[in-house]
A = this chain, B = another copy of it.
């Protein structure tokens, strides 16, 4: 699954490149867009839900600079880790170039938001994790 995105002015900073945290934000956009393509919305997992899926870890490695107007492609690869946890990997290239520009990862756990205790991932997310492309 991939998500194409043009770098907008709001994504950049005065160093003339993408602001580092904005690329993680765009990776999350890609994650949301990929869930949507398989019919899953995060809406039921937001505030006051019986089940939330917060991020417990995120990381990103930058290999080449990304500038205003660049058309990037984010390839999203979700991975099952355990009954309560999964990871999503993000390969950032340009649409027109095969080189890796950045690599990112987010790890998500399923919790009961009232008790702040882990619980099994919802079946919709489990089905998405089984999708292999």
Given known A14-B16, A24-B24, A52-B15, contact A32–B9 (CB-CB < 8 A): yes
Interface size class of A (residues with CB under 8 A): 35 or more
CB distance from A62 to the nearest CB of B (A): 5
Residues of B close to A19: CB separation below 8 A:
9-10, 25
Cβ of B24 and Cβ of A13 under 8 Å apart?
no
Cβ of B54 and Cβ of A62 under 8 Å apart?
yes
Question: Given the complex of chains A and B, what is the CA–CA distance between A116 and B54 in angstroms?
Answer: 29
Copies, count: 4
Cβ of A13 and Cβ of B15 under 8 Å apart?
no
Partner of A59, one of B14, B25, B28, B57: B57
Least CB separation from A16: chain B residue? B47
Question: Given the complex of chains A and B, what is the CA–CA distance between A55 and B60 in angstroms?
Answer: 10
Q: Which A residues lie at the B interface, using CB under 8 A? A: 6, 8-10, 12-17, 19-22, 24-25, 28-29, 32-33, 36, 41-43, 45-48, 52, 54-63, 65, 67-69, 106, 116
Show 5 residue pairs from A and B whose CB-CB distance is below 8 angstroms, ordered by the A residue. Answer: A16-B47, A41-B69, A42-B68, A48-B48, A56-B61
